Amino acid sequence: MSGATGVRVTARGWGMLLVGALLAAVAAALQSLTTARIAAVVLAIPVVALLWALVSSAFASRRGLRRTLRPRGWQVDVGGSVELTPTGAALPPWSSLRERVPATLRRRGLGPYSYAVLPSQRGRHVLGPAVLVRSDPWAIVWWRTPIGDVADVLVWPRTEHVDDAVVARALEASAPRSHGLPQRTLEASAPRSHGLPQRTLEDLTVREYRRGDDLHRVHWRSTARHGELMVRHDEPTTTRVIDVLLLLGDERDDAAEWAVSAAASMAVALLRGGYTVRVVTVADGRLVDVTTTTVGDALDLFALAEPAAEHAADALRSVQRSTSAGVVAVLDRPAASLDASIAAGGALRQSTALVVDPVDPDNALVGLLQHGGWVVGGCEGRGSIAEAWLALTSVEVR
């Protein structure tokens, strides 16, 4: 892109114009030809510089710009960087490259063609347009020329490490404990004394064999461990798929951001544990439902999460009707209007929810979800995310 956005005179240029004007006045008063010549030279320099700028901008070579972002995904409070590489004609002398960056990215310079960022806010941010700032050799005038296009970049929410043991307990916490299972099966699934479950992530979606089950679905490792036939309780097409539901309230505050981070942290833990995650939330004003095995894709959705508003009930029904193995939900100050959906839909075999309410951690919907078969815990939306999930999954299940 070429074409100057405007030529401006620098402080030095204005100073020379002022000095030239004063010299011209003195020359006129004293009738001094020498002083007049000096004044003419001083005034001519800014004029020549201005003409040089106009000609240079009119005949400027076309240039482009390539941005290299490191790392691939930026995250709140995690440093990143941008390297700007001009393409096309080489940059002219007496020029510099600058780029417009939102204040929320907290930019600092690294060099003439690169800068570092430390994002403070998740979501979509716009970089650019970049501008080529040019000057004449005497720095009398300067002008800007746009170069390249703008670029959208997503900033992911903060995430905390959630231990595999906590993930395992979150998935098995609400599994029915009284369906005619032999006592030895209940004892085998109980946590060890030091808090780590005996079952691994691979064994969480199994149940006892029932007449009519396809023998191809027998989980032989669990069968050997329990001493009886165990099969995967979900259909083969949805094995190891877990829904992660995030519903944000109307408030856009620290508690809401904590809720986003809590859901994102659990999704990352599930993905790294070998699960496929189905993210259900509201983003860009609509209900989104995306199944992924990639951490980056999941975090992209959480980066764009926004208040659920009228889509909350539809999102809840989406996971209630899901064929996935279970659901892990984070509900930020859920509206009372969800009562009917919760009562009508019930829960999946494995349904765990964290209700965030900084004013009332014992939100009324906590009891309603528990009555519907969910394992639920309330929290104030601050502090350690890992400890909040641990406290929820440590609740005794009756």
- At 306 the pLDDT is 95
**This model's pTM is above 0.85:** no
135 and 95 in contact (C-beta within 8 Å)? yes
Name the least confident of 5-14, 286-295, 340-349. 340-349
Band (pLDDT 50/70/90 cuts) for residue 213 is low
Vertex 269 angle, CA 265 and 271, to 5° = 115
Vertex 345 angle, CA 262 and 209, to 5° = 90
Average pLDDT in the 253-260 region?
95
What gap in Å lies between CA 169 and CA 178, rounded to an integer? 17
Average pLDDT in the 358-370 region?
81
Residue 349 in this model has a pLDDT that exceeds 90: no
Name the least confident of 15-24, 153-162, 385-394. 385-394
- At 4 the pLDDT is 56
What gap in Å lies between CA 317 and CA 185, rounded to an integer? 32
SS3 call for 338: helix
Band (pLDDT 50/70/90 cuts) for residue 207 is confident
Here the tokens at position 42 are 């001083």
CB-based contacts of 98, cutoff 8 Å, min separation 6: 130, 131, 133
317 and 287 in contact (C-beta within 8 Å)? no
The more confidently predicted of residues 286 and 369 is 286
288 and 305 in contact (C-beta within 8 Å)? no
Here the tokens at position 230 are 């165990």
Average pLDDT in the 203-210 region?
63
